[in-house]
Amino acid sequence: MNSSELTNIVKSLASELNFDLCNITSAEPFSADRDIAIERIQSGKMAGLPWFNESRVVRGTDPSILLQGARSIISVGINYYQSRDTNSQNKAMGKVAVYAWGKDYHRVVKKRMKLLVDNITKILGNNFNARWYIDDGPMLDRSVARRSGIGWIGKNTNLLSPELGSWVFLGQIITDLDLEIDLPLKKHCGTCTRCIEQCPTNAITDPYTIDNSRCISHLTIENRGPIPTELRDAIGEWVFGCDICQDVCPVNTKSQLSREPLFKVNSRQSLDLINILTMSEEEFREEFSGTPIMRSKYHGMQRNACVVLGNIGSPDSIPALTYALKSDSPIVRGHSAWALGKIGGQRSELALIGQLSIETDPEVIEELQSAVSHITG
């Protein structure tokens, strides 16, 4: 079987497994992407992601380090786009990024990539060497997808597919098979700067450059500390992740609904914030096990809920925020204080003063004092 025939079989098998995109690139090093990633680390743009270090980048941009004898990379993509319901009558709801509405994509896509490898093995009648990743390893997934011709890198640093826009989960299978490579696309974003202009935290500092420490997705998911005070207003109603730079992208006007059933669980497109603040950690695990929401962890989601409730500004949330003042997490207590200060009113002031009389954590005390001052003027 020659490389052209084998490549056609690989792409056909990928389609049968509901991969929407499948292209091939070589296993040559990604030298330019390596240099760009290292520069971002050294300039502090990846702050808050200690695991994304120079050693990881060097490994992830040289496929031969990850798989001895690597010759080709199968680049796959699955569309996850769903339309958002904007008719909710509950005011105490927080927005969730579309990618988190369904099952955890890491499990779904990685299992399917293994099936693809197994099916190729059956066709060949013998084993071949392969390793596969879906942003859970060192490979730079967007770099692989770009070089394989699946799409181009947008100014918001997302990969943009001509067919599916940026609503795509990307996977990579490094293999020692000799496959025919696809060429990179020559498309680009032209003069469009909508994503840069619409980012509420100004996280896209320049075209193709994101300051991770200002990105709402990072602040509400990977961030384990407090959300900077100066960015809390800009979080708006996003309790988990953010889709703004994708929503405004003209390429995404062509987006098609995902055909993958496991990504169609729309009950999580927004979350009841009062419920998040009042549920136990065990209830949280039961509710969100097997979903991307778990990445923020229990106290992280409560922190986020406090910020969004503060931004919504409804006095109806004061009891839940007062309850959160008693959390065993200083971060949750501090952010609930901020939210109560923003909502204001006598009930908020009394709750803050009461907690201030017994609080021992210096940072929470500072949040409480600031919140009281905000109310009293």
How does pLDDT run across 175-207, given as a tens digit for each residue? 999 999 999 998 889 999 999 999 999 999 999
Residue 131 banded pLDDT, cuts 50, 70, 90: very high
What's the pLDDT score for residue 245?
97
Which pLDDT tens digit goes with each residue over 327-354? 999 999 999 999 999 999 999 999 999 9
The CA-to-CA distance between both ends of the chain, in Å, stands at 78
Is residue 112 within 8 Å of residue 130, measured between CB atoms?
no
Is residue 309 within 8 Å of residue 318, measured between CB atoms?
no
274 alpha carbon, distance to own chain's centre? 23
Is residue 96 within 8 Å of residue 270, measured between CB atoms?
yes
What mean pLDDT, rounded, does the chain reach? 94
Which pLDDT tens digit goes with each residue over 44-103? 888 788 888 999 999 999 999 999 999 999 999 999 999 887 666 667 899 999 999 988
- From residue 87, give the alpha-carbon distance in Å to each of 7, 90, 243, 308: 46, 9, 18, 18
pTM: 0.92
Which pLDDT tens digit goes with each residue over 200-230? 999 999 999 999 999 999 999 999 999 999 9
- From residue 147, give the alpha-carbon distance in Å to each of 31, 92, 117, 167, 224: 12, 43, 21, 18, 33
What's the pLDDT score for residue 315?
97
Q: Which of 143-152, 260-269, 291-300, 308-317 has the lowest mean pLDDT?
A: 260-269
- CATH 1.25.10.10 corresponds to the domain 279-377: yes
Question: What amino acid positions are annotated as catalytic residues?
Answer: 135
Q: What angle do CA 6, 9, 11 make, to 5 degrees?
A: 110
What's the pLDDT score for residue 264?
77
Residue 266 scores a pLDDT above 80: no
Question: Domain residues of the chain, as ranges?
Answer: 1-84+96-221+240-266, 279-377
Residue 8 scores a pLDDT above 90: yes
Amino acid, res. 43: S
